[in-house]
């Protein structure tokens, strides 16, 4: 009677060993299977490693005020005029003007501020979009009228970070020929700096209406069976290759 319990116990121990072996093999196989992104600790696409982000920045122009001079110089007038024209296109806020107060330049600052106001109004800047606030300059610094507004700014980076060694090693990013971290950062940063309207990186602009006068002429020519292309009666298309040196 003692042989039967021993046989049953032996079979149970063998089954337990088989289960343990199967579980160990499954764990080993599961450890071997990893996705490519899991092997690399950063994404392989440079647009994901160095994304271009939008944030709110500032555009600032300083108009330096002399103690015995009133009004703006020709260069300062050009700076203020360019500032007002660009504000209409890219600003996301009103214009904030910081005027020095409590110093020897108060009268010169007041005269210059009147001229700045006139340039803004002539450029189409509404009066309610101009906010003037005084500030007290330090005694050692040259007083200036500071003009600024908020705008969208596109940025990427910072670049020049090397978290991995580029030389031979046991790292999977080297053995699997993965791109290094800093690759593509300069391109993203340059693109963010060169784009005219940062909002174009997020969504397309709305379509503007077509040129009605030209469209009417083309449709009328098409209806008559004529060539709808334009005709140039000047020397626009009569250029010749120079024969200089022949």
Residue 95's pLDDT is what? 94
Q: Answer yes or no: are the C-beta atoms of 149 and 87 closer than 8 Å.
A: yes
Residue 61 has pLDDT above 90, yes or no: yes
**Domain extent listing, the chain:** 54-153
Residue 5's pLDDT is what? 54
Rg, the chain, Cα only:
36
Residue 84 has pLDDT above 90, yes or no: yes
Q: In sequence order, which ranges of the chain are alpha helices (DSSP H)? A: 3-32, 36-39, 46-49, 74-90, 106-122, 172-175, 185-194, 212-224
Summary mean pLDDT of the chain: 81
Residue 137's pLDDT is what? 84
Q: Answer yes or no: are the C-beta atoms of 29 and 66 closer than 8 Å.
A: no
Query: Which residues are paired to 154 by β-bridges?
Result: 54
Residue 188's pLDDT is what? 94
How far is the CA of 146 from the CAs of 95, 143, 216, in angstroms? 10, 9, 50
The 10 Å Cβ neighbour count of residue 148 is: 17
The better pLDDT of the pair 5, 153 is held by 153
The 10 Å Cβ neighbour count of residue 156 is: 22
Q: Rounded distance, CA 33 to CA 170, Å?
A: 18
**Closest listed residue to residue 144, CA positions, set 44, 66, 200, 43:** 66
Residue 60 has pLDDT above 50, yes or no: yes
- Strands in 95-100's sheet, in edge-to-edge order, are 53-64, 144-155, 95-100, 130-135
Top-confidence range, 8-12, 138-142, 156-160: 156-160
**Closest listed residue to residue 134, CA positions, set 102, 92, 104:** 102
The better pLDDT of the pair 49, 4 is held by 49
**Closest listed residue to residue 178, CA positions, set 50, 48, 36:** 36
Is the backbone peptide bond immediately before 91 cis, with ω within 30 degrees of 0? Answer: no
Residue 26's pLDDT is what? 58
What is the full DSSP assignment across 114-132?
A: HHHHHHHHHTT--GGGEEE
Residue 180's pLDDT is what? 84
Q: What is the pLDDT of residues 191-208, one digit of tens each?
A: 999 998 898 888 888 888
Residue 167's pLDDT is what? 74
CATH code for the part of the protein at 54-153: 3.30.1330.60
- Average confidence (pLDDT) over 78-82: 94
């Amino acid at each position: 009677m003692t042989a039967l319990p021993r046989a049953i116990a032996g079979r149970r121990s063998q089954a337990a060993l088989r289960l343990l072996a199967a579980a160990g093999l499954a764990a080993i196989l599961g450890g071997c299977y990893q996705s490519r992104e899991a092997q690399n600790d950063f994404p392989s696409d440079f647009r994901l490693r160095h994304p271009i982000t939008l944030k709110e920045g500032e555009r600032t122009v300083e108009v330096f005020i002399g103690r015995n001079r009133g009004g703006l110089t020709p260069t300062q007038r050009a700076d203020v005029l360019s500032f007002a024209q660009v504000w209409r296109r890219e600003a996301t806020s009103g214009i904030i003007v910081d005027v020095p107060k409590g110093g020897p330049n108060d009268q010169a600052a007041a005269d210059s501020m009147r001229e700045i106001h006139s340039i803004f109004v002539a450029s189409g800047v509404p009066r309610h979009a101009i906010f003037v606030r005084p500030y007290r300059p330090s005694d050692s610094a040259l007083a200036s009228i500071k003009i600024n507004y908020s705008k969208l700014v596109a940025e990427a980076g910072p670049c020049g970070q090397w978290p991995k060694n580029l030389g031979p090693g046991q790292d999977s990013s080297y053995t699997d020929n993965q791109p290094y971290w800093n690759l593509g950062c300069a391109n993203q940063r340059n693109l963010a700096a060169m784009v005219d309207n940062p909002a174009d990186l997020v969504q397309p602009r709305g379509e503007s209406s077509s040129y009605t006068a030209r469209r009417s002429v083309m449709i009328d020519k098409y209806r008559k069976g004529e060539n709808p292309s334009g005709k140039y009666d000047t020397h626009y298309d009569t250029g010749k290759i120079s024969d200089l040196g022949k």
